Each structure stands twice: as structure tokens, then as C-alpha cells.
Amino acid sequence: MKKNIVVIEGDGIGPEVTRQAVKVLNAVAECFHHEFHYRYCLMGAVAIDKTGNPLPDETIDASLQSDAILFGAIGHPKYDNDPTAKVRPEQGLLKLRKSLQLFANIRPITTYPSLHHLSPLKTKNLEAVDFIIFRELTGGIYFGKKETNAEQTRAFDECTYTSEEIERIAHLAFKQAQLRRKKLTLVDKANVLETSRLWRKIVQAMAKDYQDVAVDFLYVDNAAMQIILNPKQFDVLLTENMFGDILSDEASVISGSLGLLPSASVGNSSALFEPIHGSYPQAAGKDIANPLGSILSAAMMLEHFDMLKEASLVREAVAWTLNNGFVTKDIDPVNFYFTSTIGELISDYLVGKISGDDLNKENIELRKSTII
Ligand code: IPM
Ligand code: MG
């Protein structure tokens, strides 16, 4: 198969982790005789530096024409503590989501037994944790009217949802639940917010068309607590934009490292894949960041292309690195491997240069970091 992929490396550790995912995609292309064509585009702080615009039109056009977008990370500390900055890197990502109508952000939360010790939760609460968050991505308070008055004494952000916006993502979440453990939890704040009451009404009505899915409802404050107390109760969690932003970061620490988690943002035609970690500027350029979030995002991209065997082979390779202690510094601060080494190991595994049995550990040991 031939696919055109837009690559947006972005800021901070974005470039170095994305390069590992591209290595892995190239290995997949080699094994399975696919052709992946890449077009590199700008977005974020790096785009502001080069063009003055966090999202140049060229990036939107190329993305609209692509089969998928692989994205690294966005953000730079020089904008973080300046609330008066007129242009910010994040505006690029928000505009891209809106321009491509990427209305559903999908974040799977999986746990790996070899990483249980890194989780803030006790092992007994981690076994069998496997859920997916469906976060609405192009509506709500993120995109409502926002204003500060001339005296700078009052500000507002409006939160609006339409039934169409709710239904289109809810359909995706229901369908996903049908393929999984058939449970859908809507997270809202229907005891306070009008928009939440609309979400609840619509999801309740839609449940009649998905009789095989058990639906329940949780207020967001309770959901925040339940994710920590008993995360294995969840299967598919559906929620609006800002609640989803907050809960998905909370849920991401369960697995032990934020660096591991992938995400997909999909619409009716475009799709973007990115690790959920941020730009982690302190690690940029040091070859120490965890590339697995990006590599697993590439696996989600392969699934989106209906390359299911390819995606599961990438996941197998990732699990192989974790099980054999080939991990980055976030996972093992003493015996760690470089970002680029992990990318190479996974690519080598995919093309069959490494097989589980005749693993030449000594050769791999040579690629271990000597900086402790
Ligand atoms: C995310 C991020 C973004 C968001 C930021 C960078 C605008 O936190 O993708 O979750 O809030 O949506
Ligand atoms: Mg976020």
C-alpha cells in the first residue's frame, strides 16, 4: 500500500522521538512492502521562529491532502509565563484540530507488568487496567468565545456544544465499546452544567441503538477519584474537551511513564497521531526521551490504515524492549538506553535482525548509555 504521511516534528523532544517512529514505519514498509512517503511540515514554536505563524497555511494544506499526520510535541518555555504573548505555539495545534475537524481524541491507557513498580498505584490496582478515553476535541470551552474587558478586571470563556458535535463522537465511542468489553461511561458535570445535561440526554437516547453496551454516568469530580481508586472498572470513557484533557493526563500516569502513551485524533477524513507527552524542553536534544509514545502512535496510524498485522508487530516489538530492559532514562535512570537506540532496536526487531531466541545481548549492551 502507498500512503502519504505528513510529519510535524514540532518542539522540544518532538523531533527526536518522531524520528524513531519514522524509523519504525520504514522498517514496517520494508517488511510488508508498503510505500510510505513523508512530507515534513512546521507547527508550534519552531514555526513561529521560522515564519511568525504557529501554523503556516502550507501545513494545513499538506495535512488536508495526506493520508495521516504524525506529530511530535508542541510548546516552548519562553511562552509559558507570558500571559500577554499574542502568538503561542499551542494555537497551532488547536487551529490544526479545528481545520481538519479532528473531533475525537482517542487515548488508550494500558499497563505493562514490567513497569508496575513505576506506577503511583499499587500493583493490585493495576492488573487488568485497560481503558480508552474518547475526548471531544473541537468544541466546548476550548473553542468558545473568549474575552477580557478593557479594564482587565473580567474575563470569560464560553462553553457550547451542539447535538451534532456530541453525537458524532458518541457514535465512535459506542462502536469502540462494542468491540471491547461493552461498557461506556459518560463523564460530565450534569449536576451543574447545561452542556453536560445535553451530553447526558443525547447519550441516554443513543444508548437505545447500542443495546449491547452498558452505559453509566459519572460526574467528573467522582471520575477523577475513581481513575485512581479503581481504574479497572473502566472500558470506554467518553467526555467533553476540557474534562478529557484533564482526565487523560491523570490516567496517563497509571502506566508508570507518561512517555509510553500514544493518541489518535480523528475526524471524518483526516487523522493525526501523537504521543500524549508534551515537549519536555529540559530533555530536548539529549537523546534521552522515551520514543515509545511516538512509536505506539505510529502503530495506531497503521491500524487506521487497516494494517492490523503491522500494528500488532510494532506492539510486540515495543513489549519486547520493555520486557528485556531496553528502556529509556524515565524508566530506568541507571541502566538506560538512548532514544535513538530504542528506535533502532525496534526497527531491527521488525525486520528480523533480532529474534527472541538468539538475542545477542552483548552487541546490544554496547549501545547502552555510559553516562550515569
Ligand atoms: C493536549 C494538550 C493540548 C490541549 C494543549 C497543548 C493545547 O494538553 O493535547 O492534551 O490542551 O488539548
Ligand atoms: Mg493535555
Q: Which CATH number fits domain 1-105+257-372: 3.40.718.10, 3.30.43.10, 3.50.50.60, 3.40.50.2300?
A: 3.40.718.10
Whether 280 is catalytic is no
Class of the CATH domain delimited by 120-255: alpha beta
Q: Ligand 1: residues whose CB is within 6 Å? A: 74, 90, 93-94, 245
Whether 142 is catalytic is yes
Take atom 12 of ligand 1 and give the residue whose Cα is closest.
245
Of ligand 1's atoms, which has the minimum distance to the CA of residue 74? 6
Residue with cell 526497527: 347
Contact 351, 31 (CB under 8 A): yes
What predicted TM-score, i.e. pTM, was given to this entire model? 0.93
Query: CA separation (Å) from 225 to 192, 220, 221, 231, 276?
Result: 18, 9, 7, 9, 21
Whether 95 is catalytic is no
Instruction: Show pLDDT as tens, one digit a residue, over the chain (372 residues).
Output: 999 999 999 999 999 999 999 999 999 999 999 999 999 999 999 999 999 999 999 999 999 999 999 999 999 999 987 777 889 999 999 999 999 999 999 999 999 888 999 999 999 999 999 999 999 999 999 999 999 999 999 999 999 999 999 999 999 999 999 999 999 999 999 999 999 999 999 999 999 999 999 999 999 999 999 999 999 999 999 999 999 999 999 999 999 888 999 999 999 999 999 999 999 999 999 999 999 999 999 999 999 999 999 999 999 999 999 999 999 999 999 999 999 999 999 999 999 998 655 566 666 666 665 443
The Cβ of residue 2 has, within 10 Å, a number of other Cβ atoms equal to 9
The alpha carbon of 249 and the centre of ligand 2 are apart by a number of angstroms equal to 6
Task: Return the half-sphere exposure (C-beta side, CA atoms, 13 A cut-off) of residue 188.
Answer: 23
Whether 1-105+257-372 and 120-255 share one fold: the answer is yes
Domain ranges of the chain: 1-105+257-372, 120-255
**Length reported for the chain:** 372
Of ligand 1's atoms, which has the minimum distance to the CA of residue 263? 9
